[in-house]
Amino acid sequence: MGKCQGVELLKLLDSKYPEGIQIVMILDNHSIHKSKETQKYLIGRKGRFRFVFTPVHASWLNIIETMFSKMARSFLRGIRVDSREELESRIDRYFAEINKEPVEF
């Protein structure tokens, strides 16, 4: 996700939630979350967003990172694809497979 996309996500969230509600986001320590563009947007929306950062070097606490890691190790390891569409199709099949027996966290 690029810097502009990050601010665009904040704008989208800002438009979807009622004014007066603080939007709390749990984030990793990627530089995009602390970029100049992000900070500039947040200054104009004081108190609207609260970022809670996971500890540095603790990607295992981030459930999505754990899921992506498992997908890469088990489902995508050693594959060859001929196109982006084929890769997307394989990833879609992975999610369909794991959603057959969802696990609650």
Q: Identify the band that residue 105 occupies on the pLDDT scale cut at 50, 70 and 90.
A: low
**Better-scored residue on pLDDT, 61 or 55:** 55
Asked whether residue 49 falls in the same domain as residue 66, the answer is: no
State pLDDT tens for residues 64-77.
Answer: 778 888 888 888 88
12 with 42, same domain?
Answer: yes
Mean pLDDT score of the chain, rounded to an integer?
A: 85
For residue 3, name the pLDDT band (cuts at 50, 70, 90). Answer: very low
Residues 7 and 38 in one domain: yes
Instruction: Mark whether 48 and 65 lie in a shared domain.
Output: no
Query: Per-residue pLDDT for 90 more than 50?
Result: yes
Domain extent for 84: 61-99
65 and 95 in a single domain? The answer is yes
SS (H, E, C) the chain: CCHHHHHHHHHHHHHHCCCCCCEEEEECCCHHHHCHHHHHHHHCCCCCEEEEECCCCCHHHCHHHHHHHHHHHHCCCCCCCCCHHHHHHHHHHHHHHHHCCCCCC
What pLDDT does residue 27 have?
Answer: 85
Distances (CA, A) of 24 to 10, 14, 50, 58, 105: 11, 11, 5, 20, 19
Q: Is the pLDDT of residue 1 over 60?
A: no
